Amino acid sequence: MNTITAAITAVGAYVPDFVLSNKVLETMVDTNDEWITTRTGIKERRILKDADKGTSFLAIKAAQDLIAKANIDPLEIDMIIMATATADMPVASTGVYVATEIGATNAFAYDLQAACSSFLYGMSTAAAYVQSGRYKKVLLIGADKMSSIVDYTDRATCIIFGDGAGAVLFEPNYEGLGLQDEYLRSDGVGRDFLKIPAGGSLIPTTEETVKNRQHNIIQDGKTVFKYAVTNMADASELILKRNNLTNEDVNWLVPHQANKRIIDATASRMNLEESKVLMNIERYGNTTSATLPLVLSDFEHQFKKGDNIIFAAFGGGFTWGSIYLKWAYDKK
């Protein structure tokens, strides 16, 4: 087979050591473990406590983990896509810095921001570069230091988010494995329901914006939940129908880890048995751009060459979609 497809050939990950449990959150805001667990499925999340370390630190660690496990030379990496909603700085690209720090000095790099769908969109972008035939090794990193934008006096958001990073390597495949199909969508109606109001060109930083906590993430939980349940489930169902796949054909669902109830609704629409639905939300919470690769890292040992995997995500903006990928290797 001469047709080039883009396959994931390696996975890496990193989460900080500090564990922020529901019990600890009970001492910080008016909430409790039962309430959080029932509504989100989250028990704990990891936090990067070092004030002098940003998202780039997480990304570098995840990339180094992949490079070490796959035993590849960083100089062979052609490009790096940095999927993140919490770049180190507003202007200087985080991905460019990460590339230099991991020794990928032959690669060009840039950041991609689509909120919680950043990694999913990045998969599409990375695969397209590989399928073009121009690039052989594309490193896609999803990383977010969500603790840097969370208001820990806001019980509606501080219970949800955590910090972490994951990375995958896309390479050419000639066996028909790798990315098969995608359904990606967006709708600007979501702009007001999940956002950081200030710090951009619309509302530049002032003393007032800082005082009013306008640089922290805010969301209308009920509205976001409603859109997420509908759109993640719709996209996943559509990708199955478009590829003539039944629930029996799907080996694994890799969903964005935002809320267990959203994941359950998506799996239910696909009529998938629970054992096929991969989750680690109870340990990490919502790490935004890092959720999908962290799931891949945690469950990589279960994947078999040729497995049909469905990815699904939903993020602020709104952004959402689903990707159908055939796994390309058995873990040694």
Tell me which residues are annotated as active site.
116, 256, 286
Count of beta carbons in the 10 Å neighbourhood of residue 225: 18
Residue 62's identity, in one-letter code, is: A
| Cα angle, residue 57 at apex, residues 282 and 221 outer, rounded to 5° | 40
Alpha-carbon span 54 to 51, nearest angstrom: 8
Closest residue by Cα to residue 73 from 156, 152, 10: 10
- Cis previous bond, 318, omega within 30: yes
Beta bridge partners of 67: none
Alpha-carbon span 25 to 281, nearest angstrom: 16
Alpha-carbon span 243 to 236, nearest angstrom: 11
Pull the structure tokens for residue 285. 């919470």
Count of beta carbons in the 10 Å neighbourhood of residue 2: 4
Burial class (CB in 10 A: 0-12, 13-18, 19+), 244: exposed
